Amino acid sequence: MAEVPTTALPTTGHEAETDALASDELLVEEVSIDGMCGVY
């Protein structure tokens, strides 16, 4: 089986981050873990 070549992750530069921003982009995502099983 041929190996799938892995590629290095591109460096996250500010320009790349700028390009990805949209006017409704949310840079923060929130999660509540109350009630999650296995969380202490």
Partner 1 sequence: MALTFDLDRAWRVDPRVSLRPEPFGALLYHFGTRRLSFLKNQTVLAVVRSLDGHPSARAACLACGVTEAELPVYARALAALASSNMISERTPHDTRA
Closer CB to partner 1, 2 or 39, in the complex: 39
- What the block records as the tokens of 9 is 């992750």
On whether the CB atoms of residues 33 and 39 are closer than 8 A, the answer is yes
Residue among 9, 28, 10, 27 nearest 18 (CA) = 27
7 binds partner 1 (CB under 8 A): no
The one-letter code for the residue type at 16 is A
Number of residues that bind partner 1 (CB under 8 A): 19
6 binds partner 1 (CB under 8 A): no
19 binds partner 1 (CB under 8 A): no
Smallest gap from Cβ 23 to partner 1, in A, equals: 7
